[in-house]
Structures are given as C-alpha cells and as structure tokens.
C-alpha cells in the first residue's frame, strides 16, 4: 500500500506540473531564419511563388525519395498548392498552399500537417541589401493544451531545416543564369501564323526544346515548299497555362491568312489587342521567371489575361551570346 501511495503522489505531482506548464507556457510558436542571396528580389521571388518549385531547394525533398506529391491550382501565386504523403517520420503528410503574394516582397502560405485540424503559417519576406536580397523565412503556429509543450521545442526541431533550406535556395538562385526583362504596355496589330500544337509539361525544358525543334523544322519545310514567305521571326503561342499540361503552338508569322492543307499544321490569327509586353534578355531557362514577373505586373496593375500569351524569338541563339538572346513576351489583357 505504501508503494501505491508513493506512485499516486508521483502521478499527482506529474499532473500538477503538466497543469502548471499548460498554464504558463505560451500558445504561440515562432521560428525565424534569414539569409542574404546575391541576386535581385525578382529572381528569388520567382522561386518562392510556386509550390511546384518548392522541391528544387526544400530541405525535406531528399529525405524520402518515395514521397508522393500532387499539385493543384495555378503554377504560381495565390492558390498554388502542394500535397505530400510519406511514411518517413521526418516528412509525414500534409498540404501547403500560397494565400498571399506581393511581387518581390512577400510569399505567405498555409500548412496543414497530417491529422491536425489547425493550420500553421509559413512566410517569406524579401528585402534588398544593396544589390543583394535578404530572405527571411518564418513559421508561426498556435498550440493549445498539452500541445503547448511544442512551443519550446519547435525552434530546435524546425530551425536547422530552415537553415539548410535557405542555403539550398541561395545555391539554386545564385547559379541560375542572369537575365533582364523590360515590361511595358502597347497595342498590337493582327498576327497571321501557321503553327503545330502539342502538349507538354511546363517544367520539362528538354521536352519543350525537342518539340519546338521538330515543329519549327516541319513549319520551315512547309513554308519553303509552299512558296509562302514568312513575315517575321518564329513565335510560340501558349494555351491553357493554368493546367498541369500546357498546349504550346510553335508557329511562323505570315503576311496574311493562308489556307493550309496539312495533317498537323494549322492556320490561325492573333487578333489585334492591348498587351503587356516583356522584352527578355538572357537564357531561355529563365523565361519562366520573366513570365512570373509579367503576371505580377498584371496583378499589381489590376490587369487580367484576355487570350493566349505568346513569345517571339527575335534573334538567332546560334549567332549571339546567351546574355543577348532576345525574346518578346506578350500577354493580351482586358
């Protein structure tokens, strides 16, 4: 009986200590880490503003190669969402989605872990330091009851992952080829063209290059044999940009509408329209970043997409240095 009494006293003391801890511990947990990246904010922002790019630098991406990922919503910006599922204890399962984006300044997302009912919040804040960008990554969550014990543990558990993730983000951004973009608004004339449509994953650069090369080869052969001269440098029209697969249409501008008799080549017209125009200088690898800057410009100026965007490749990449590759990007807007 004496032993049981001692056990009872110990349990009571334990319960009292837990009750005291619950009463005095804070309910809010906060983790914060920063790093300076040798790049302009727009390039850093383009990496952070898409859940599809998260695993290019995520500290958890290499822990379990068997992790299953699903993506929802737009490729970038508010609504871009990633779901993951893993049996590894350090990865687990959950969802993360972007809820707020301020171009070159902030990306905020909500996170839902496993079976938890309450969401947590992760925020990236960008600020300039001379010609560099400081990135601050924060995590905020509320815990109640016995779970308040996590408020004193989360920094030690999560902080090292944040440090590794920021270091990898710095590596990814600083090794990307440099580029520049100039954004304006203008009115365009109608464009007649012949093109070949194909479907491709927007992040599969190898497949995009191959399909473009094959399409332009067929188009140039058709133009030369049909005796109808081209009226400008090649273009590519992009359809269904918000889906997992993009319908792209490599094309050759024509002086006027032409009748085409071919099983793959079609004749179309881009109507005269008001556009947001971006002049991109640099490697084609960074065109996605320029597209994101243009969409951010449209959002900041309350402009909405009104048709299919297109690119025009102004010079021959085989004859000029990479930094001088010039691509004109057009977004028709309301």
Q: What is the pLDDT of residue 83?
A: 95
Decide if domain 180-332 falls under CATH 3.30.300.30.
no
Q: What is the pLDDT of residue 25?
A: 56
Q: Is the distance from CB of 43 to CB of 289 less than 8 angstroms?
A: yes
Q: What is the pLDDT of residue 265?
A: 95
Share of residues in the chain with pLDDT > 70 (%): 88
User: Mean pLDDT over residues 311-334, rounded?
Assistant: 90
Give CATH 3.30.530.20 domain extents, the chain: 24-172
Instruction: Tell me the Ramachandran region of residue 77: left when phi exceeds 0, alpha when psi lies from -120 to 50, beta otherwise.
Output: left
Query: In CATH, what is the architecture of 24-172?
Result: 2-Layer Sandwich (3.30)
Task: Say what the pTM is.
Answer: 0.61
Query: pLDDT tens, 278-299?
Result: 999 888 888 888 888 898 889 8
CA distance 81 to 87: 21
CA distance 149 to 21: 8
271 burial class (0-12, 13-18, 19+ CB within 10 angstroms)? exposed
Maximum average pLDDT range among 11-15, 85-89, 316-320: 85-89
CA distance 178 to 180: 7
Query: pLDDT tens, 104-154?
Result: 899 999 999 887 778 889 999 999 888 899 999 999 988 765 555 666 677
Lowest mean pLDDT among 71-75, 150-154, 316-320: 150-154
Give CATH 3.20.80.10 domain extents, the chain: 180-332
Q: Is the distance from CB of 32 to CB of 137 less than 8 angstroms?
A: yes
């Amino acid at each position: 009986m004496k032993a049981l009494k001692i056990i009872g006293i110990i349990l009571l003391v334990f319960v009292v200590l837990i009750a005291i801890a619950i009463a005095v511990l804070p309910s809010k947990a906060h983790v914060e880490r920063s790093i300076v990246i040798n790049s302009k904010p727009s390039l850093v922002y383009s990496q952070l503003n898409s859940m599809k790019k998260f695993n290019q630098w995520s500290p958890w991406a290499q822990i379990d190669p068997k992790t299953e990922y699903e993506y929802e919503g737009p490729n970038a910006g508010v609504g871009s969402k990633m779901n993951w599922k893993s049996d590894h204890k350090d990865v687990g399962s959950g969802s993360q989605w972007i809820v707020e984006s301020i171009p070159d300044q902030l990306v905020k997302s909500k996170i839902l872990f496993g079976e938890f009912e309450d969401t947590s919040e992760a925020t990236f804040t960008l600020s300039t330091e001379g010609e560099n960008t400081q990135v601050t990554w924060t995590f905020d969550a509320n815990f109640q009851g016995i779970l308040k014990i996590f408020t004193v543990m989360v920094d030690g558990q999560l902080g090292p992952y944040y440090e590794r993730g920021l270091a990898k983000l710095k590596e990814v951004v600083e090794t990307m080829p440099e580029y520049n973009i100039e954004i304006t608004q203008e009115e365009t004339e109608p464009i007649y063209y012949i093109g070949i449509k194909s479907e491709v994953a927007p992040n599969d650069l190898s497949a995009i290059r191959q399909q473009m090369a094959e399409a332009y080869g067929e188009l140039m052969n058709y133009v030369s044999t049909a005796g109808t001269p081209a009226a400008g440098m090649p273009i590519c029209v992009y359809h269904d940009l918000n889906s997992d697969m993009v319908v792209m249409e490599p094309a050759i501008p024509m002086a006027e509408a032409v009748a085409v008799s071919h099983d793959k080549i079609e004749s179309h017209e881009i109507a005269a329209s008001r556009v947001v125009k971006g002049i991109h200088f640099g490697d084609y690898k960074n065109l996605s970043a320029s597209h994101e800057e243009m969409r951010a410009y449209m959002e900041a100026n309350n402009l909405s997409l009104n048709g299919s965007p297109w690119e025009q490749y102004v010079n021959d990449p085989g004859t000029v240095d990479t930094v001088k590759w010039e691509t004109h990007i057009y977004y028709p807007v309301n």
